[in-house]
Amino acid sequence: MPQKELSNQEKSLYYPRQQYLDLLRRNISHRKHTLLLAPRGMGKSMLVRQFFEAEKKDKSAALNRTFVYLDLARVSISPENFTQEFIGSVAHAVQRAKDTELLKYQDIDFLLQQNISADVKEILASIRNELQKIKPDQRLILTQAFACAEQLAKGYNKQLVIALDDAEELLGFDNYPQIRDSVQLFADATKKSSSVSYLLVSSFTSVMRKRFSQTLEVITLEALSAKETHQLAEKIVGKMDERVAVQLHHWCAGIPSVTVALAEKLVQAHINVKDVVSVQKIREVFAQEIASPESQIYRYAKEEFFIALTHARGASLLKSIVRVVALHDNLRLTEIARKVYRSGPVTKSLLDRLGEVDLIKKVNSTFEFHSPIVKNWCKTTAVC
Ligand SMILES: Nc1ncnc2c1ncn2[C@@H]1O[C@H](COP(=O)(O)OP(=O)(O)OP(=O)(O)O)[C@@H](O)[C@H]1O
Ligand SMILES: [Mg+2]
């Protein structure tokens, strides 16, 4: 799926995060493979789109660069399908084909008829050969998919920047017995690439950092500061009183998607954000939103919560812990253990699992939610 350009409305609301654009630019120009991490809604995908657009406009940098964006959450993630969609997207991009032709490019026979180098043809022929077997060697075809991108770039004398969004999907390859270690496979297949830079993007911050930090340069996209929240919100609501903006930042925790959603709600509710008396109103509107199933903030928190719990091992056991941490602030391990009637070591292992999926974190010696929005939602809805 080619990346959609930012619409005019998105451009007018976009709050530039220059320091991250600079970091991405530095990594790419040094041909370093990068892992961009941040919780959901923090603006990773928008940042990548913005980065690509800015780079395309920079004529000196863009001259021989090609940008490819693949959202792995939308790609069928068996090794066979990934290989075809990945190679197809890369070939489609280097040949600057029309968007409507993307599907054709995912057919290896079609690619073999194209005017491409003998090296690429050789790789494609061996992949096709493998795919025709009853049991293709999945490790081989994935390795060759990455090699093919490198050769395609070389053949067209391009530097390729390939963004793989929702890159945690790659870890799903570990379930295939011939692969087992997708991270090692990716590292081996891409470590010598001189014409392709990879940009992996994910909201599964703990597991991805743990698995990839040896091989990739990690960039963590942080929450907006109070000043940044103020500036972003003003694009939507117009001039704001400083104290009202501080209150907005407090409730939205610097998360751009939540900030945009609440700011839009303030406009709809005709809240006078220039007047300091509205400080109280922000709290009321936020409280309403987080309790209304049809609101964006409710959906955001619910999704965060369920995605985390679905990925945590032994989900049902964990709910009692989550509940305790939602209803109390700054509890220590022994206090949580007492409240859930479990031993210290059992409770610790449960808390570790909630840490692996970025729901709960340890701050000094107490436990807290990663996201205050999700904590607030759990409290409000008593979901757990
Ligand atoms: N820099 C920004 N300026 C203005 N709005 C932003 C910015 N970053 C994010 N947003 C808002 O937040 C929403 C979510 O952003 P985005 O989809 O990029 O987040 P994400 O980190 O990729 O989330 P996910 O992990 O769910 O894919 C955007 O649709 C937009 O409304
Ligand atoms: Mg995204």
Backbone angles phi, psi at 74, to 5 degrees: -100, -10
Over residues 75-84, the pLDDT tens digits come to 667 898 899 9
302 within some domain: no
120 within some domain: yes
Task: Assess contact for 65 and 157: CB atoms under 8 A.
Answer: no
Confidence of residue 59 (pLDDT cuts 50, 70, 90): confident
Q: Which pLDDT score is estimated for 62? A: 59
Residue 381 has pLDDT above 70, yes or no: yes
| Whether residue 65 is found in the same domain as residue 122 | yes
Backbone angles phi, psi at 366, to 5 degrees: -120, 170
Residue bearing the CA closest to ligand 1, atom 24 = 40
Domain containing 162: what range? 8-220
Residue bearing the CA closest to ligand 1, atom 28 = 257
| Whether residue 286 is found in the same domain as residue 238 | yes
Confidence of residue 168 (pLDDT cuts 50, 70, 90): very high
| Whether residue 84 is found in the same domain as residue 125 | yes
Give me 317's structure tokens: 């056991």
270 within some domain: yes
Continuous H helices in the chain: 8-13, 18-29, 44-57, 59-62, 79-94, 102-105, 108-112, 118-131, 138-155, 182-190, 205-212, 226-237, 242-252, 256-268, 278-291, 296-311, 315-327, 333-340, 344-356, 372-381
Confidence of residue 370 (pLDDT cuts 50, 70, 90): very high
Kindly list the protein residues that place their beta carbon closer than 5 angstroms to ligand 2, a single-atom ion. 45
Collapsed DSSP state (helix, strand, coil) of residue 3:
coil
Angstrom distance (rounded) from CA 230 to CA 86: 40
Confidence of residue 64 (pLDDT cuts 50, 70, 90): confident
Residue 384 has pLDDT above 60, yes or no: no
Out of 7, 17, 169, 260, mutate this one to test ligand 1's pocket (max ligand atoms within 8 Å of CB): namely: 260
Closest CA to 25 of 60, 66, 63, 54: 54
Residue 359 has pLDDT above 90, yes or no: yes
Q: What average pLDDT does the structure give for the chain? A: 91
Ligand 1 atom with the smallest distance to the CA of 235 is: 4
Q: Which of 205, 220, 235 is the last residue of a domain?
A: 220
**Tokens 């759990």 found at:** 378
- 47-56, 72-81, 113-122, 135-144: least confidently modelled range: 72-81
Q: Which pLDDT score is estimated for 227? A: 97
Confidence of residue 135 (pLDDT cuts 50, 70, 90): confident
Q: What is the pTM of this model?
A: 0.88
**Tokens 């050789």 found at:** 122
| Whether residue 196 is found in the same domain as residue 341 | no
Ligand 1 atom with the smallest distance to the CA of 257 is: 12
| Whether residue 79 is found in the same domain as residue 151 | yes
Q: Which pLDDT score is estimated for 342? A: 84
Using CB distances shorter than 6 Å, the residues near ligand 1 are 13-15, 17, 38, 40-46, 203, 232, 256-257, 260
Q: Which pLDDT score is estimated for 208? A: 96
Residue 180 has pLDDT above 70, yes or no: yes
- 37-41, 54-58, 142-146, 370-374: least confidently modelled range: 54-58
Q: Which pLDDT score is estimated for 271? A: 93
Amino acid identity, residue 372? P
Ligand 1 atom with the smallest distance to the CA of 260 is: 31
Angstrom distance (rounded) from CA 355 to CA 310: 13
| Whether residue 143 is found in the same domain as residue 246 | no
20 within some domain: yes
300 within some domain: no
Confidence of residue 115 (pLDDT cuts 50, 70, 90): confident
Angstrom distance (rounded) from CA 81 to CA 86: 8
Over residues 144-159, the pLDDT tens digits come to 999 999 999 999 999 9
Distance of CA 320 to the CA centre of its chain: 28
Task: Assess contact for 195 and 154: CB atoms under 8 A.
Answer: yes
Residue 172 has pLDDT above 90, yes or no: no
| Whether residue 107 is found in the same domain as residue 60 | yes
Confidence of residue 313 (pLDDT cuts 50, 70, 90): confident
| Whether residue 29 is found in the same domain as residue 133 | yes
Count up the domains in the chain and report the number: 3
200: β partners: 35, 164
Q: Which pLDDT score is estimated for 57? A: 84
Give me 367's structure tokens: 């436990």
| Sign of the C-alpha dihedral computed for residues 248, 249, 251 and 255 taken in this order | positive
331: β partners: 367
Residue 2 has pLDDT above 60, yes or no: no
